[in-house]
Amino acid sequence: MDSSQEETFITACTGCGKKYRLPKRVLGRQVQCKACQTVWRAVPCPDQSPSTEASQLTDAASSQLAGTASGGNSALNESSIDDDSAWIGKKLGRFQVVEVLGKGAMGIVFRAHDPDLKIDVALKILGKQFIRSKKTTYRLEQFIREARSAARLSHPNSVIVHQLGQDQGWYFIAMELIEGKTLLDLVRRQKKKVPIDQACELIAQAADALSAAHRLGIIHRDIKPSNIMLTREGRVKVADFGLAQFEDAGDDFELPTKAVGTPYWMSPEQCRNQTAIPQSDIYALGALLFFTLTGEVPFRGDNKREILNQHLNAPLPDPKKYRAEIPDSLVRIIQRAMAKNPAERYQDAAEMAIGLRHVVNAIAQSRMAERYGGLFGYSAGPQPMMRGSSGRFRNIVLIIVPIALILGTVFWFARSCSSPPRPPIIQPTSQDTGPMVPVFAIKGELRYHALGCPVISDVPTSSLTRFNSDKEAEAQNLVGCTYCQDLLRIQKENAATQPAGTPTPKP
């Protein structure tokens, strides 16, 4: 190893402080201390004088570093995706590979440096076997769709894609590098006791991202704990849109089977090989919430068939069996999200997020009441008059507060009586709305649907309420279904061209 200052630098082990002189070609790479076996990123020490005493790595370690950090891409075309050591220090496009982050069935993910943006990125590379084999060419299309789905979404709670590219026959995606862990790691680290309010907020953030994706016609289809990334600040990032489905009439891409996803989190319709809908992702969110709160999956089995059969037929276990302090309101959210019938689930993931944040607010208010309630003498039973300065203060508060409430009530009543009567609120009628097209609402739900909407396709007629028009439904405080607006518009256009007296359709 050359000892000249121009070709070497001095770095110190972060574990034991031992100093080493290394060639500059390994600057920024990971090295291992031969004294304490600590692995650290090689950066120069402040003191770089030639006289500084520093050890050199052993010959074996030096040769390993030379192969790890060697420049150029001479062997990249022949490299195997499994030989990750051959990638370290190489360049793919403008990105320089730094270290391995993880491996999957379709390829490998590296940490890489972007010299243009001056940031590190996660570089996901597709294995060439999925490009060369005619039987697995759909994997390339799937890989490309993953990048396009995430880039199209562009939501604060989804992973950002910087570039989709190809270099030397390798396809890669450069995306946001998440320095934190996954939801799976969090549950394991918390030993199945993630705080209830934290669990609700994390799933609510994932629901926000999925709601935005669904509005763009993107269905994730593979929501699971390992695909929910957590930043160091605790923000959720939904990742891996590799199995995403586009609600686009011009999109003819199909995987070999419609039963895609991971068995523990698959919705009943996915288990039946049916086309996934937004409510399929909501079902997975409910299963994810169950797991985050309890550390247990909702349904278990010895094999995939048993698990899928339970999703189809078995009643949902009570999460309070695993964790008694889960509030009943949260149990109801899980039950609704994981209903067997998609029509009985939340129709929008944003609705589920609202319900979860209501639980978070209730928990916060309960904690505040427990913390500060005693200051004002609140208690479950009568309190005796107390002595001392603090006791006198509490007794005064107990007297003044009721009097203030009584006076405020009297003042409000007197003012309301003296105010002029308000004009009546006139609800809009369907007579001035153009063509009359019937719409239908599931009893107990706050959304109405056009005839033919897939959400109500399996709902019995006895469970539906019919309205003569969408305006009539809106007068009852109902809102339109997000996924059949175009269908309703077409029905209105057809109704405008039909002669008078044409019978209206029934569900």
**Residues designated catalytic:** 222
CA distance 505 to 497: 15
Note whether 140 and 130 are within 8 A (CB): yes
Contact 291, 297 (CB under 8 A): yes
For residues 19 and 443, what is the distance between their CA atoms, to the nearest angstrom? Answer: 73
Q: What is the DSSP letter of 386?
A: P
Report the first-to-last Cα separation within the chain, whole angstroms.
82
99 forms beta bridges with: 111
Residue identified by tokens 């004294």 is 35
Distance CA 96, CA 120 (A): 9
Round to whole Å and give the CA distance between 193 and 235: 19
* Cβ atoms 345, 283 nearer than 8 A: yes
Which residues make beta-bridge pairs with 173? 124, 164
For β-strands 30-32 and 479-480, DSSP reports them as unpaired
User: Among 263, 292, 171, 270, which residue's Cα sits nearest to residue 219?
Assistant: 270
Residue with tokens 């149990």, as numbered in its chain: 331
- Residue 156 dihedral angles phi and psi, to the nearest 5°: -55, -25
Buried b (16+ CB within 10 A) or exposed e, 91-108: bbbebbbbbeeeeeebbb
Q: Which residues of 378-391 are buried (b: 16+ CB within 10 A; e: fewer)?
A: eeeeeeeeeeeeee
Strands 119-126 and 107-114, by their bridges, are antiparallel
For residue 79, the one-letter residue type is: S
Whole-angstrom distance, CA of residue 226 vs CA of residue 91: 28
Whether 340 contacts 268, CB under 8 Å: yes
Distance CA 203, CA 448 (A): 26
